[in-house]
C-alpha cells in the first residue's frame, strides 16, 4: 500500500504545473526562483547550510543543476521530545511564587512541575553540595594554625633547600632508560581492514558523558504544494543511522506518524528519510508572514519618516511642490515590506516547533 502511495505522489508531482507568479504574501507559496533566492540568502547568512545537486537522474529541470536542495549536517539533538511533554497531572502541577522586596512591590512567577520528584544524582543531574562550616571566632583559627608544624614524616624538621648543583642529572644517572613498573601498558589498537576503527570497539560511557544524537537536515522544493519541504536523517553517538521509531522519539507527539513519516528522498534513488508533510505549510507560512510583514512595514515607514525629517532639517525648508508631496505620500504606501529572501529563515522557525529538540533553527539571533 505504501509503495502504491509513493507512486501516486510521484505521478502527481510530475503532472503538477510549475508556479510562475509570486504568491508568498497572499498564499504562503513560492516559485522555484524564489526558493533559490531564499536558499542563497540562507546559505550566505548562515554558512552551515549548503547547496547540493543530488543524483543527476533525479534532478528537477525547474531548479539549477547545482542547487537542487539545501543541506546542513551534524545538527545536535540533546534530548528526546518526550522529555518536553507537559501534562496536568499532580506531579506536573503549577504554583504561584511571590518575591517581594523592601519597597513592598512583589514579582509573581509561575513554577511548573512543582510536584515532580527529583531524580537520583548523576552527571546530568548533580546533587547539592553542603556548605563547608566556618570556624567560630578568630581565636579558634589562631589555635588551629598554631598546631601546624613543618616537619617530615619521621618527625625531624625539614632542612634547608639543597643546592641545585647537588641534584643529579637524569641523563647522567641513566634514569630515562629504565621502564617504570607503575606505568600502565598501552591498549592494543584494533583497526578494521580499511584502517578505520570499528564502531563496535568503542566503549560508550553512560554515566558521565552526554550521548548526543545528530541529524542531517535537507530542504527541498515541493512542486505540488509549492512550498519547501524538510527531511531528516538521524545518527546516534557512534554515527549509526537511527531507526524510524528512534527518529519519532525526537518529533513532537502531535506530529509523529501523522505529518512526519518515512519516505523516499526525491533527490536520491536509494535514500529513505523522515519528512514533514507539506500539506499545511502554505497556510501556516501565510499567517506567520502576515504577522511579520506588518511589523516590517511599520519599521520601514518609521525609518522613511525619520529620513524625511532629517532632510528638511538639513536644507532648512520643506519642498513646495504639491506633485512631489503626493509622490512622497505614494512612496510611503508602497513600502517593500518583508522580502521573499527571508522565507526560509521563517520556515525554519516553524519547523522548530515540530522537532523541538533538534536544533534545526540556526537563525535564532537573526
Residues with active-site annotation: 279
Spatial contact of 10 and 310, defined as CB atoms under 8 Å apart: no
Strands 227-235 and 106-111: unpaired
- 65, three cell numbers: 543543476
Secondary structure (DSSP) of 76-115: EE-S-GGGG----SGGG--EEEEEE-TTS-EEEEEESSTT
* Residue 142, C-alpha cell as written in the block: 589562631
Is residue 227 helix, strand or coil? Answer: strand
Answer for the pair 49, 19: CB distance below 8 angstroms, yes or no: no
DSSP annotation of 181 = T
- Bridge partner list, 358: 77
HSE on the CB side for 170, CA within 13 Å? 4
Alpha-carbon separation of residue 341 from 30, 158, 347 (angstroms): 11, 76, 11
C-alpha 198/C-alpha 192 separation (Å) is 6
Question: For cell 517593500, what's the residue?
Answer: 336
Which is nearest to 226 in space by CA: 360, 68, 35, 5? 35
Residues facing residue 111 across a β-bridge: 95
Q: How many CA atoms lie within 13 A of 103 on its CB side?
A: 3
Amino acid at each position: 500500500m505504501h509503495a502504491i502511495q509513493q507512486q501516486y505522489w510521484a505521478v502527481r508531482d510530475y503532472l503538477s504545473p510549475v508556479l510562475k507568479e509570486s504568491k508568498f504574501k497572499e498564499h504562503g507559496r513560492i516559485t522555484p526562483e524564489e526558493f533559490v533566492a531564499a536558499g542563497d540568502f540562507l546559505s550566505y547568512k548562515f554558512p552551515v547550510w549548503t547547496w547540493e545537486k543530488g543524483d543527476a537522474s533525479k534532478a528537477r529541470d525547474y531548479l539549477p543543476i547545482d542547487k537542487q536542495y539545501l543541506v546542513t549536517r551534524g545538527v545536535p539533538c540533546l534530548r528526546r521530545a518526550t522529555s518536553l511533554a507537559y501534562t496536568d497531572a499532580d506531579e506536573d502541577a503549577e504554583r504561584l511564587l511571590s518575591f517581594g522586596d523592601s519597597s513592598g512591590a512583589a514579582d509573581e512567577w509561575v513554577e511548573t512541575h512543582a510536584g515532580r520528584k527529583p531524580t537520583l544524582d548523576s552527571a546530568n543531574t548533580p546533587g547539592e553540595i553542603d556548605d563547608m562550616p566556618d570556624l567560630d571566632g578568630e581565636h579558634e583559627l589562631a589555635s588551629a594554625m598554631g598546631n601546624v608544624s613543618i616537619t617530615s614524616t619521621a618527625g625531624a624538621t625539614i632542612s634547608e633547600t639543597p643546592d641545585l648543583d647537588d641534584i643529579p642529572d637524569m641523563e647522567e644517572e641513566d634514569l630515562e632508560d629504565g621502564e617504570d613498573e607503575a606505568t600502565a601498558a598501552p591498549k592494543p589498537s584494533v583497526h578494521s581492514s580499511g584502517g578505520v576503527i570499528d564502531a563496535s570497539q568503542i566503549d560508550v560511557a553512560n554515566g558521565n558523558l552526554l550521548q548526543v544524537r545528530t541529524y542531517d537536515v535537507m530542504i527541498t522544493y515541493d512542486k505540488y504544494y509549492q512550498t519547501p519541504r524538510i527531511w531528516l536523517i538521524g545518527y546516534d553517538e557512534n554515527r549509526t543511522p537511527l531507526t524510524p521509531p528512534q527518529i519519532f522519539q525526537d518529533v513532537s507527539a502531535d506530529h509523529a506518524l501523522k505529518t512526519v513519516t518515512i519516505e523516499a528522498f526525491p533527490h536520491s534513488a536509494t535514500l529513505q528519510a523522515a519528512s514533514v508533510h507539506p500539506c499545511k505549510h502554505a497556510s501556516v507560512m501565510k499567517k506567520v508572514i502576515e504577522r511579520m510583514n506588518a511589523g516590517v512595514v511599520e519599521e520601514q515607514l518609521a525609518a522613511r519618516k525619520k529620513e524625511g525629517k532629517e532632510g528638511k532639517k538639513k536644507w532648512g525648508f520643506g519642498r513646495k511642490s504639491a506633485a512631489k508631496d503626493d509622490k512622497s505620500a505614494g512612496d510611503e504606501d508602497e513600502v517593500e515590506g518583508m522580502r521573499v529572501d527571508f522565507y526560509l529563515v521563517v520556515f525554519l522557525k516553524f519547523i522548530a516547533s515540530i522537532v523541538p529538540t533538534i536544533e534545526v533553527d540556526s537563525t535564532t539571533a537573526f
